[in-house]
Amino acid sequence: MATIKDIANRLGISVSTVSKGLNGASDISEHMRQAVLDTAVEMGYTTKQMRGRDRKKLCIFVENMDYETSEQFGYDIILGFRQAAARENYDTTVFPVTPSFQAAERYDTYMLKNGYAGAFMVGFALQDDWMGQFAATAIPTVLFDNYIKKNPCVGSIGTDSFEGIDDAIAHLISLGHRRIALLNGSPHSMISEQRRQAYMDSMTARGLPFSEASMPYGYYAADAAKDYAGGLLALGVTAILCGNDLIASGVMEECNRNGYQVPDEISVIGFDDIPLSAQLQPPLTTIRQDRIELGKSGFYTLHSLINHVSISRTMLRPQLILRKSTAPAKPVKALTP
Amino acid sequence: MATIKDIANRLGISVSTVSKGLNGASDISEHMRQAVLDTAVEMGYTTKQMRGRDRKKLCIFVENMDYETSEQFGYDIILGFRQAAARENYDTTVFPVTPSFQAAERYDTYMLKNGYAGAFMVGFALQDDWMGQFAATAIPTVLFDNYIKKNPCVGSIGTDSFEGIDDAIAHLISLGHRRIALLNGSPHSMISEQRRQAYMDSMTARGLPFSEASMPYGYYAADAAKDYAGGLLALGVTAILCGNDLIASGVMEECNRNGYQVPDEISVIGFDDIPLSAQLQPPLTTIRQDRIELGKSGFYTLHSLINHVSISRTMLRPQLILRKSTAPAKPVKALTP
């Protein structure tokens, strides 16, 4: 477990300043106090002072999402949630949940049994058992990238896929691209469905061609590119939008293997802006989700539901990050076998 | 201006308790302290202690909306915003704005000139001059019941009209109604357009008939009923959804004047749940918007924008409040001339 000295080293400040931050002393700035508390939460430091007396318990359930290291998509979402929760004196447990666990245990029962005041759900798929139960739960619950109609106890948090996809397509059009594909993530995901719809809306609005073949579902991993990138290149597309940055990294590799230079012959755009994006060769143009803020907004939405304020949806704006994987469209060449 | 004694009288507590609440003493409950501060804000009480040293300034611009007394729609929205802002050490100015003022003064210029950190806009119509300027403003701005695409400095707050209208129509169907009209508010309003779409979606999904004639635009005042209620009754509808509670009050009066009993012959549903709703005869079934929480959420969204967190939209859930203006559908009778 982290010590005060670990926190001081991470922040490059003295042990006594860390101590002041943790104890709420008034002679350090509010900004520094927040940095100390946020870092203490991230590093797993806990003391009685931080715990306070009346701490309540929340749970983050994670399925189908990597979150253990700061390189992974879920890490900042969960960190942002835990940091915001700690400031309001909540303790947060992170619980990786499986389909078989959901089949064996009802959501409400598990929550009541464990005394949780509310939960944040990340990575759930449409067919998950608990998704069906959220329509009627009376427990304050916030879903990342999922939505439940009409239940005043359930809220939703996410990034606006429609603006993100449209920004990316507008950028590609400004570079002269017209044949643009979407290699999506997994089906059975609300967010994949939204991005597909966003792609169709945006291509339609701009008078560009698309078809079922130009917008296949894959899955949210680099390997998806092996199954689908060749087919998209054979269609003669000059740009490929990807469901996330991992897919985009696989697509860049497949393009190279097939003798296509990125970005000179094919432009590639990712989604999320995980740390990997900037390290790829070429660095990846991508649609950024602010994951720390998604986590914090997830907590604030849950906190509102716990206080009987029925927020149904909080949406954050995406931001298109321009790097080197997009360039002016070149004439299409035939697929090298 | 209110005194400490006025606050004590309003809350039915002692002057010394009010004093403790205002000065942050630790021997009263957090709940009581909030009640004291909220009431002080509502009553316009200000002291140096409340002001603090580094207060920042926000502005609420109001157009086309009554907000001066607690009976009026805008009162609680503005109160909720001001209460939430006061807790974070912001001073809030309320500024009634006209079309001619907007034509004479650019929004960004006015904000910079007056040193405002951000603004909350209520009651704006689609054709307002400033609405065009919000697409490019760099000033943190939150719009109640309006939406601006892709500007990371502008957020939106509102109640989900789609769920509200669908809940109301589901309720009427459960009472046997099939011929249901929507007497909408003003055109040139994003929210009127949404409610019209919500009505069409819900009627279509449930296989019920509707036409242009069954969903006229009116305006957000009781008098709109004089122009439109007769026409709707002549269509043979058995229920009328209204754009707000004022329109509904006018519709009930017009029904009576035309010899239709509410609710025995015509069911009427309002929107908003302003205090008037419960006092009408019969008391009005209506779709509630939690206006204090809308105001508070408006502030929190603005506060996020000021801190460079780009929340595009915060939506609250509506709640159908069942009173006495809806009843089982009766066979239609002809319009009495």
Q: Given an 8 Å threshold on Cβ–Cβ distance, is B300 in contact with A300?
A: yes
By Cβ distance, the residue of B150, B296, B316 closest to A312 is: B316
Q: How far is B151 from chain A (nearest CA, A)?
A: 9
Residue of A nearest to B300 (CA): A300
The ipTM of this complex is 0.83
**What is the pLDDT, as a whole number, of residue A331?**
66
Average pLDDT, chain A: 92
For B262-280, how does the pLDDT look when each residue is reduced to its tens digit (9 = 90+)?
999 999 999 999 999 999 9
Confidence grade of residue A47 (pLDDT, cut at 50, 70, 90): low
In this complex, the residue of A150, A315, A316 whose CB is nearest that of residue B163 is A150
Give the per-residue pLDDT at B33.
Answer: 82
* Chain B residues with beta carbon closer than 8 angstroms to that of A315: 311-314
**Lowest-pLDDT range of A21-30, A107-116, A232-241, A288-297:** A21-30
The C-alpha atoms of residue B90 and residue B108 are separated, in whole angstroms, by: 19
Q: Which is it for strands B118-122 and B141-144: parallel, antiparallel or unpaired? A: parallel
Q: Which residues of A touch B (CB under 8 A)?
A: 149-150, 152, 160, 163, 167, 290, 293, 296-297, 300, 304, 309-317, 319
* Radius of gyration, CA atoms only, chain A: 22
Task: Write phi, then psi, for A177 (nearest 5 degrees).
Answer: -80, 145
Tokens coding A143: 């879903």
Sequence-ordered strand ranges (E) for chain A = 56-62, 90-96, 118-122, 141-144, 154-159, 180-183, 239-242, 267-272, 285-288, 311-316, 319-321
Res B337: pLDDT: 47
Nearest to B131 by CA among B115, B109, B113, B154: B154
The interaxial angle of helices B30-43 and B15-23, nearest 10 deg, is: 90
Closest in B297, B310, B317 to A152, CB measured: B317
Six token digits for residue B76: 């609680």
High-pLDDT (> 90) share of chain A, %: 78
| Distance of alpha carbon B330 from alpha carbon B337, whole angstroms | 20
CA count, 13 A, side-chain hemisphere, B319: 15
DSSP-derived secondary structure letter, A157: E
Mean pLDDT (chain B, rounded): 92
Under the banding of pLDDT at 50, 70 and 90, the label for residue A46 is low
Q: How confident is the model at residue B48 (pLDDT cuts 50, 70, 90)?
A: low
**Proportion of chain A above pLDDT 70, given as a percent:** 95
Segment B239-268 shows an average pLDDT of 97
- Look at residue A53 and tell me whether its pLDDT is greater than 80: no
pLDDT recorded at residue B45: 77
Amino acid letter, B334: A
Q: Residue A63 and residue A124: Cα distance in Å, rounded?
A: 6
**Could you report how far apart the first and last alpha carbons of chain B are, in Å?**
54
What is the least distance, in Å, from the CA of A35 to any CA of chain B?
15
**pLDDT band, very low/low/confident/very high, at B54 (cuts 50, 70, 90):** low
Per-residue pLDDT of A110-160, as tens digits, reads 998 899 999 999 999 999 999 999 999 999 999 999 999 999 999 999 999
Tell me: pLDDT of B96 over 90.
Answer: yes
Closest CA to B31 of B23, B21, B43: B21
Q: What average pLDDT score do residues B241-250 get?
A: 98
Q: What are phi and psi of A333, to 5 degrees?
A: -110, 160
Lowest mean pLDDT among A41-45, A241-245, B180-184: A41-45
Mean pLDDT over A12-22 rounds to: 87
Q: Which amino acid is at A164?
A: G
Chain A residues with CB under 8 Å of B316 CB are 309-312
Residues from B in contact with A at Cβ < 8 Å: 149-150, 152, 160, 163, 167, 290, 293, 296-297, 300, 304, 309-317, 319
Tokens 């949940």 appear where?
A97
Among B40, B54, B138, B112, CA closest to B88: B54
What pLDDT score does B53 carry? 47
Length of chain B: 337
| A314 chain-B contacts, CB cut-off 8 A | 311, 313-315
